[in-house]
């Protein structure tokens, strides 16, 4: 884990670990509460790609960075520092409680009986940020499914895809594809085509709110011809979702109950 040294808080008081969600990427989409937690912290810990998005909050801090797949190391170090009386901010992109670090922090704190305060600072999750860029795709019941089989067996992922596809949920697909993992998104499409019209709207948002953001509107049948990567979230509409004025809209049901 790389280290940039600055001042330390060597007090003997019980420390605090802030698990901070910085949102989808741009600073204007980060909450004031997240900014306050970062300012309070003596030490900031995080995945380098996420820390690079918040350079102003790193000034005058001790900064510990690491690469992808080092989540356990980051949690362990953060808890250790907090136990020693430090105020530590563990940075997550999006929301720390959605496919991120909050759960792991609590699991490790329980396992090692960590005596420190733990505060979860929520952030705008990918599902929220991407939905806003697409229009209003989540106006009715929806689900989120990650296609990463690093921690979840592929057979269980398939079972969950079958369940949400057959129940006509709008579905946000996290971790849809990587350089090495290319089959899962094909499997997802095949499953959804069993239950949805091939013309079902699909939205793909990559790097939401960042400088390299891309937004694509397509269909269930054509989605695999579009660029999809690890920074993408794929939003598959339900049977009522439609495209209007280059926006993806899922009706809530008002038109059937009220005169619009």
pLDDT per position in the chain (260 positions), as tens? 555 443 444 444 689 999 999 999 899 999 999 999 999 999 999 999 999 999 999 999 999 998 777 899 999 999 999 999 999 999 999 999 999 999 999 999 999 888 899 999 999 999 999 999 999 999 999 999 999 999 999 999 999 999 999 999 999 999 999 999 999 999 999 999 999 999 999 999 999 999 999 999 999 999 999 999 999 999 999 999 999 999 999 999 887 778 77
Architecture of the domain made up of 2-124: 3-Layer(aba) Sandwich (3.40)
Per-residue H/E/C for 192-242: HHCCCCCCCEEEEEECCCCCCCEEEEEECCCHHHCCCCCCEEEEECCCCCE
Q: How far is CA 67 from CA 6, 38, 243, in A?
A: 21, 20, 39
Q: What is the pTM of this model?
A: 0.90
- Which residues in the chain are classed under CATH 3.30.950.10? 127-249
- The CATH number of 127-249, from 3.40.50.300, 3.90.1150.10, 1.10.760.10, 3.30.950.10, is 3.30.950.10
- Which residues in the chain are classed under CATH 3.40.1010.10? 2-124
Q: How far is CA 61 from CA 1, 77, 256, in A?
A: 16, 16, 56
DSSP for 118-139, please give it. EEEE----HHHHHHHHHEETTS
Q: How far is CA 185 from CA 137, 153, 247, in A?
A: 20, 15, 23
């Amino acid at each position: 884990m790389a280290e940039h040294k600055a001042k330390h808080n060597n007090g003997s008081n019980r420390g605090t670990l802030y698990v901070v969600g910085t949102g989808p990427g741009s600073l204007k989409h980060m909450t004031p509460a997240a900014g306050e937690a970062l300012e309070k912290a003596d030490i900031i810990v995080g995945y380098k790609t996420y820390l690079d998005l918040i350079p102003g909050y790193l000034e005058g801090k001790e900064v510990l960075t690491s690469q992808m797949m080092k989540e356990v190391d980051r949690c362990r170090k953060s808890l250790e520092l907090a136990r020693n009386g430090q105020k530590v901010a563990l940075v997550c992109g999006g929301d720390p409680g959605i496919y991120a670090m909050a759960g792991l922090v609590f699991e490790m704190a329980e396992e090692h009986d960590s005596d420190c305060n733990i505060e979860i600072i929520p952030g705008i999750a990918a599902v929220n940020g991407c939905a806003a860029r697409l229009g209003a795709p989540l106006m009715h019941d929806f689900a989120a499914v990650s296609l990463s089989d690093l921690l979840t067996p592929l057979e269980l992922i398939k079972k969950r895809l079958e369940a949400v596809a057959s129940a006509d949920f709008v579905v946000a697909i996290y971790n849809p594809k990587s350089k090495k993992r290319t089959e899962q998104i094909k499997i997802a499409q095949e499953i959804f085509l069993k239950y949805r019209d091939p013309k079902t709207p699909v939205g793909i948002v990559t790097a939401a709110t960042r400088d390299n953001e891309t937004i694509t509107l397509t269909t269930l049948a054509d989605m695999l011809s579009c660029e999809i990567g690890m920074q993408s979230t794929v939003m598959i509409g339900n049977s009522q979702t439609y495209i209007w004025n280059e926006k993806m809209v899922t009706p809530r049901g008002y038109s059937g109950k009220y005169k619009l």
